[in-house]
């Protein structure tokens, strides 16, 4: 998510979801090939497994960026074919690419020739008036023929004219059935569903139909939900893989989550390293504001960070002072 899931955000989310695959914000090919590569690609080692999401439409440029992803030791390279922003439309990439599946296929093929990393595609179920299942099926068929085996599907179409990026995340209706049907008709592909997923129970229901779930806005607005999802879903998966027939009946209440305070204390060394390197505290703490969402003291926690982290020279004491402000009355059980 552009301007959201930077390295500070991902390092924080890794503490909440130790098993999840994390994705960078979308980085354009132009930014990598003509800008500061280190600024865009550096990350903390704790973020692995980590996928680099690219925005672009030129196969050669995407291939060169895929090589950079391998050089920087990312675990996956992902092509964004779902972003509807004006900037993306001006560059004829993002969701625009769903209208040109042959170009996407050529890009995937070029990236696969350039690197041994998995090359995946994230897309919508449709664009503007092209919203029937056949449109998406043709897109996936074409791109899969170029060797892509993993498709992450935002179960909304994108309106390229008339809606803002935020409205495109909310107004077009969710059509999960199209994503389910895609998996049914292409069982050999890995299909991951995205859009409007906010709870463990929703994840479980989707996983009856598809191979994985991607969490976006909920992870940012209510980051502690990641801890519940990670604990519940990966514990069940591990038990099932071990042959435990009772895995699906695992008592979620027995899965203890780290307290929010424990997560912040674990994050402290990272924050201190970043401060020592010159990173302003506000660039880090902006990603923490939702941690105590719905909890006693949550408003005070947000206010203290918002007011004090922006001060020149703000240090680790701001974060430490915010922890007791939030109070100790918090739930650490898994919420369905």
Task: Report whether 158 contacts 95 (CB < 8 A).
Answer: yes
Interval 101-119: pLDDT, tens: 999 999 999 999 999 999 9
Beta strands in 30-143 (DSSP E): 50-55, 76-81, 119-124
- How would residue 131 be classed by pLDDT, with cut points 50, 70 and 90? confident
pLDDT in the model for residue 236: 58
8 A C-beta contact, residue 66 and residue 94: no
Beta bridge partners of 192: 152, 212
Angle ∠(309,264,320) on CA atoms, nearest 5: 50
pLDDT at 83: 85
pLDDT in tens, 193-210: 999 999 999 999 999 999
Q: Which residue has the higher pLDDT, 46 or 241?
A: 46
pLDDT at 279 over 60: yes
Is 195 annotated among the ligand-binding residues?
Answer: yes
- Known binding residue 184? Answer is no
Residue 94 is assigned to a ligand binding site: no
Would the annotation count 283 as a binding residue? no
Residue 239, token pair as written in the block: 């038990």
Q: Is 70 exceeded by the pLDDT of residue 187?
A: yes
216 marked among binding-site residues = yes
245 has a pLDDT exceeding 50? no
Was 243 annotated as part of a binding site? no
Top-level class of domain 7-222: alpha beta
Label residue 155 by pLDDT band (50, 70, 90): very high
Q: What is the CATH number of domain 223-336?
A: 1.20.120.1460
Task: Please say whether the beta carbons of 106 and 58 come within 8 A.
Answer: no
CB within 8 Å of 254: residues ≥ 6 apart: none
Lowest mean pLDDT across 71-75, 152-156, 295-299: 295-299
**147 annotated among ligand-binding-site residues:** no
What residue segments make up the domains of the chain, in order of their start?
7-222, 223-336
- Contact at 8 Å (CB) between 194 and 164? no
Residue 332 has pLDDT above 70, yes or no: no
Q: Torsion angle, CA of 80/57/158/207, rounded to 10 degrees?
A: -30
90-97's contacts with Cβ under 8 Å and 24+ in sequence apart are 91/28, 91/30, 91/55, 91/56, 91/57, 92/57, 93/28, 93/55, 93/56, 93/57, 94/26, 94/55, 95/123, 95/124, 95/127, 95/158, 95/160, 96/57, 96/127, 96/160, 97/57, 97/123
83 is catalytic: yes
Q: What is the mean pLDDT of residues 312-334?
A: 79
53 annotated among ligand-binding-site residues: yes
Catalytic residue of the set 9, 81, 83, 96: 83
pLDDT band at 243 (very low <50, low <70, confident <90, very high): low
Q: Which residue has the tokens 């780290």?
A: 258
């Amino acid at each position: 998510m552009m301007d959201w899931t930077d390295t500070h955000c991902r390092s924080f989310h890794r503490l909440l979801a130790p098993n999840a695959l994390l994705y960078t914000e979308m980085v354009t090919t132009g930014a990598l090939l003509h800008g500061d590569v280190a600024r865009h690609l550096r990350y903390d080692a704790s973020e692995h497994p980590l996928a680099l999401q690219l925005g672009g439409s030129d196969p050669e440029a995407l291939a060169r960026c895929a090589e950079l992803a391998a050089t920087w030791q990312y675990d996956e390279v992902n092509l964004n074919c779902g972003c509807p922003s004006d900037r993306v439309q001006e560059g004829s990439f993002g969701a625009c690419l769903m209208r040109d599946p042959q170009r996407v296929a050529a890009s995937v093929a070029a990236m696969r020739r350039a690197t041994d990393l998995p090359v995946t595609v994230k897309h919508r179920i449709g664009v503007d008036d092209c919203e029937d299942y056949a449109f998406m099926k043709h897109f996936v068929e074409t791109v899969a023929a170029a060797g892509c085996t993993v498709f992450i599907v935002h179960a909304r179409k994108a309106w390229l004219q008339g809606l803002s990026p935020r409205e495109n995340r909310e107004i077009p209706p969710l059509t999960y059935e199209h994503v389910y049907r895609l998996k049914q008709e292409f069982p050999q592909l890995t299909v991951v569903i995205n859009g409007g997923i906010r709870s463990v129970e929703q994840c479980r229901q989707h996983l009856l139909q598809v191979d994985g779930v991607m969490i976006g806005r909920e992870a940012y607005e209510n980051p502690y939900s990641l801890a519940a999802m990670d604990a519940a879903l990966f514990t069940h998966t591990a038990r099932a893989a071990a042959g435990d027939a009772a895995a699906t009946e695992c008592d979620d209440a027995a899965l203890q989550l780290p307290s929010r305070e424990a997560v912040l204390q674990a994050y402290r060394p990272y924050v201190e390293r970043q401060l020592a390197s010159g990173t302003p505290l506000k660039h880090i703490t902006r990603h923490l504001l939702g941690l105590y969402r719905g909890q006693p003291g949550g408003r005070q926690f947000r206010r203290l960070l918002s007011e004090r982290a922006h001060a020149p020279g703000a240090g680790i004491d701001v974060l430490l002072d915010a922890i007791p402000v939030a109070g100790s009355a918090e739930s650490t059980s898994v919420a369905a």
